Amino acid sequence: MRTTWEALGQRWNRDPNGGNVRGFAAWPMTVDRDADVREDAARAYFWDMASRPNLDIVQGTVKRVVWEDDGCGAARGRTDEDGVATVVARGVDILSALGIPTVVNLPGVGENFQEQPNTVLVYNGTTPDDLDTGAITPYAAFLTAADLFRETNLPALASRTLESLPAWSAQIAAANGRRISAKALERIFRVQHDLIFVKNVTVAEIICFARPGQFGSAWWPLLPFSRGSVHLGRRSRDPVIDPQYLLADFDKTIAIAAGRAAQRFWRTAPMAESVGANTVPGPEALPDLNATDAQWGSYLTSTATPNHHGLGTAAMMSRDLGGVVDPELRVYGTKNVRVVDASVIPLQISGHLTATLYALADRALEIIMSQGTND
């Protein structure tokens, strides 16, 4: 796989954790090599501390926050079983319809949801006889816009994209009830445009896997412009999740370009010598190496699935942009309510979330400990 990606111009990245993920690498996994188990957050940080008398873990979603009566936005307790009020507003109109009182009006709560649509290609082929059943080889290529559009006038593409930002902002604001304004979205999108076309960060990830008798790729745009939402449903246990996949045209452009790059990989030597016919979606739906944009678009919109990298719904941004928490992770309008999870990250990142979330949690601990134990 390394030789084939290098033939396509992608360098071998020896340290994808070094600050630049561009190129081809063995993607990092939180696996304990000796124990052969996933070293998830609970195993790494919690289980050894679970019996401490001064530690109380409330599992599940917090459904009710008890507020002080001084009108200053201080919380004094919480329950997770029988409560009916939420922490802060997810848009006054949404909460009012559910009979939930608004404590702090933050329309950005639940908005700005960014998820990466995941799509796959599968081929039959000749894999090593000793390949473990169900094994997935942990290899991934991270590509920039310059990598994906080498045969395109990249400055012209950057210019067209910049010109499209106002229209996308208006379209996405309208699709999400204008709880974040088009003007605010455009300001955010200009930052994102700079990351893609000036900072040259990676915009697509292509994972390569091998199973007995089978090869394949999964890929997704890393920095989608599309925004969706996560809100309460008619019953508090049933959230309404709408990722609005591929709502912005550019996201589909990136996804198609990444899909074509994945096709070229499997049809480039030496990898091509072991790869047979395409089985998903098959040559009728997606002709090998010469599918049209319309065929690609149809395949993407009909099969895209969540990548489980969702973030942004309680974004750490200024309040006028639809932000929900301040730089100390405190919910605007409150004294001691904080959010510490992926929802506070305002933009998608050019990689996977795990290390970023661990760093976020560590920083939150420092903030809370430095300000006493009332938070």
Q: Which residues are catalytic?
A: 309, 352
DSSP-derived pairing of the beta strands 119-125 and 214-221: antiparallel
Distance CA 18, CA 158 (A): 27
Nearest to 214 by CA among 120, 121, 123, 119: 123
Burial of 267 (0-12, 13-18, 19+ CB in 10 A): middle
Show Cβ contacts of residue 335 under 8 Å, excluding neighbours closer than 6 positions. 72, 73, 74, 75
Let me know if 1 is exposed, middle or buried by CB neighbors in 10 A (0-12, 13-18, 19+): middle
Can you tell me which residue has the tokens 């848009």? 91
Q: What is the largest CA-CA distance in the chain?
A: 72
φ and ψ at residue 266, rounded to 5 degrees: -70, -15
Query: Residue 228 carries which DSSP code?
Result: B
- Asked whether the bond before 283 is cis by omega within 30 degrees of 0, the reply is no
HSE value, Cβ hemisphere, 13 Å, CA-based, for 14: 0
Give the C-alpha separation, 341 to 361, whole Å. 8
